[in-house]
Amino acid sequence: MVLMVAPAVDATSFITASPASAQAFKTATLLKTLSVNSLITGEVGVGKKSLATYILPDAPIMDASNFDELLIALESLREIIITNLENSPNITRVLEVIKENEVRVVATAKSSFVDENVDEIFSLKFNVPPLSERQEDVGLLIEKFAQEASLLFGSDEDFSVVNFKPDLSKNASSLKRQVMINYLLQDIQDVELMDIMENYLHNKLGSNSDYRNFLYLYEAPLIRAGLDKFKSQLQLSDKLGLNRNTLRKKISDNKLYLEGK
């Protein structure tokens, strides 16, 4: 069997502008100096892996769901980072092997993760709060992801934050995806946008009512943008050249996509 482990990643992406993230980083810095096992908990995208690699910069990273590979690694390595500990199919056995082989481990798990045997192995546990509780970090992360987008797309265009509402549903993971997409689209040409729509629709078309089924892709963003820009249905109906009853019907037809408008 070939043992496959992920290489350590750059840990410098963890932003410490908020008190909560600064405290998490302070704890991680302390752990760099201690030979103890630690468990970092938190939601997806809060920076658990970044902190783990900061603590053990030379350690390989393995997902707990790869049970057999993980056991082999624990038999041969002196230190390791285990991600998604809650996904282990046999966590009791994993903890036993860690103890038997005296492996230095930094593990990550969801905030809700509970196991009665964990405390015996991980002498220090700390939780990283979600970005919704670390608002000071959000702006800096947007800046960082915009810079990455600039390099990726070979553009020196400034990222526009006008009307930008950060998607923190999956913390930095959803925020990065959102920034990348918005950066790409902010100076997109009509023909490029049509190409994207064509590719999106190509494999979805096939029923006898597709025109009606996919009309929302045009109407919903048009109405959302119009209501945001003109602030009233009366003004929007005038700008679109629609009577108010027609606009009301279209708003009703697209209500699923117009929440909050």
What are the residue ranges spanned by the domains of the chain?
19-129, 135-187, 190-261
CA distance 203 to 217: 15
CA distance 239 to 233: 10
190-261, what's its fold? Arc Repressor Mutant, subunit A (1.10.10)
The pLDDT value given to residue 191: 92
CA distance 208 to 197: 19
pLDDT > 90 fraction of the chain, expressed in percent and rounded: 74
- Quickly count: other Cβ atoms within 10 Å of residue 5's Cβ: 18
Q: Give CA 237 to chain center in angstroms.
A: 38
* CA atoms in the 13 A half-sphere facing the CB of 146: 17
**109 CB-contact burial (10 Å; exposed 0-12 / middle 13-18 / buried 19+):** buried
CA distance 46 to 28: 14
19-129, what's its fold? Rossmann fold (3.40.50)
Residue with tokens 């963890």: 14
Q: Is the pLDDT of residue 11 over 50?
A: no
The pLDDT value given to residue 10: 39
The pLDDT value given to residue 160: 86
Q: Is the pLDDT of residue 167 over 60?
A: yes
The pLDDT value given to residue 93: 95
Task: Tell me the CA end-to-end span of the chain in Å, nearest whole number.
Answer: 56
201 CB-near residues (< 8 Å, 6+ apart): 214
The pLDDT value given to residue 135: 95
Q: Is the pLDDT of residue 144 over 80?
A: yes
Out of 41-45, 67-71, 170-174, 211-215, pick the least confident.
211-215
CA distance 121 to 54: 20
How many residues does the structure list for the chain?
261
In order of 11, 124, 141, 170, 178, the CA distances from 167 in angstroms are 23, 31, 12, 8, 7
pTM of the model: 0.78
* Residue 261: band (very low, low, confident or very high) from pLDDT cuts 50, 70, 90: low
- Quickly count: other Cβ atoms within 10 Å of residue 59's Cβ: 22
Q: Give CA 98 to chain center in angstroms.
A: 30
- Left if phi > 0, otherwise alpha if psi is -120 to 50, otherwise beta: which for 45? left
Q: Which tokens in the block code for residue 203?
A: 């494999």
pLDDT in tens, 58-88: 999 999 999 999 999 999 999 999 999 999 9
Q: Mean pLDDT highest for which of 81-85, 189-193, 237-241? A: 81-85
The pLDDT value given to residue 63: 97
CA distance 106 to 226: 50
The pLDDT value given to residue 233: 92
Q: Is the pLDDT of residue 171 over 60?
A: yes
